[in-house]
């Protein structure tokens, strides 16, 4: 969003341009949602499938319900990395292959810029509250069902 304010001062025009990052810092964007499962555990995931939503992610959120998370859909397999700039919640991220199998899980602390990367090329990343995967004994090789129904990446 771009806001331009003009006013006249001593016969001249002074302009202020305020670029609001979609007011994203104050509001969460609307993300499509998908239901996933990990064994008997149901996940309500918001989906970030384009560059803008992948960049926004869970930034500025103050709460995340136990069964909620965010699924990042990448356009190609790669050793994608995540960081926590402007993210206020501690999170765990599971990097997933094309079939939704967990490659590795990384724990991430709020408001840090440390890279947390896939151990092998990944197609998806699923962020949940810190410790969510460990508390359910979910680890590498286990499958997150439903990622195949996610929107196509852009």
- Residue pLDDT, tens place only, 34-85: 999 999 999 999 999 999 999 999 999 999 999 999 999 999 999 999 999 9
Paired tokens of 113: 């810029």
- Burial of residue 43 (number of CB atoms within 10 Å: 0-12, 13-18, 19+): buried
Unique residue bearing structure tokens 């001062």: 9
State the pTM of this model: 0.81
- End-to-end, the C-alpha distance of the chain in Å comes to 21
Paired tokens of 4: 């331009």
CA separation for the pair 118, 94 (Å, rounded):
8
Three-class SS state of 4: strand
């Amino acid at each position: 969003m771009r806001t331009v304010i003009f006013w006249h001062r001593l016969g001249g025009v002074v302009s202020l341009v305020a670029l609001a990052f979609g007011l994203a810092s104050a509001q969460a964007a609307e993300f499509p949602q998908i239901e996933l499962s990990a064994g008997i555990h149901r996940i309500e995931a918001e989906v970030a499938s384009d560059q803008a939503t992948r960049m926004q992610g869970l930034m500025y959120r103050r709460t995340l319900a136990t069964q909620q998370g965010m699924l990042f859909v990448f356009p190609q397999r790669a050793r994608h990395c995540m960081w926590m700039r402007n993210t206020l919640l501690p999170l765990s991220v599971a990097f997933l292959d094309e079939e939704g199998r967990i490659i590795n899980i990384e724990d991430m602390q709020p408001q840090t810029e440390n890279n947390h990367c896939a151990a092998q090329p990944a197609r998806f990343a699923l962020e949940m509250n810190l410790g969510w995967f460990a508390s359910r004994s979910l680890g590498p090789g286990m499958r997150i069902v439903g990622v195949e129904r996610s929107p196509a990446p852009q």
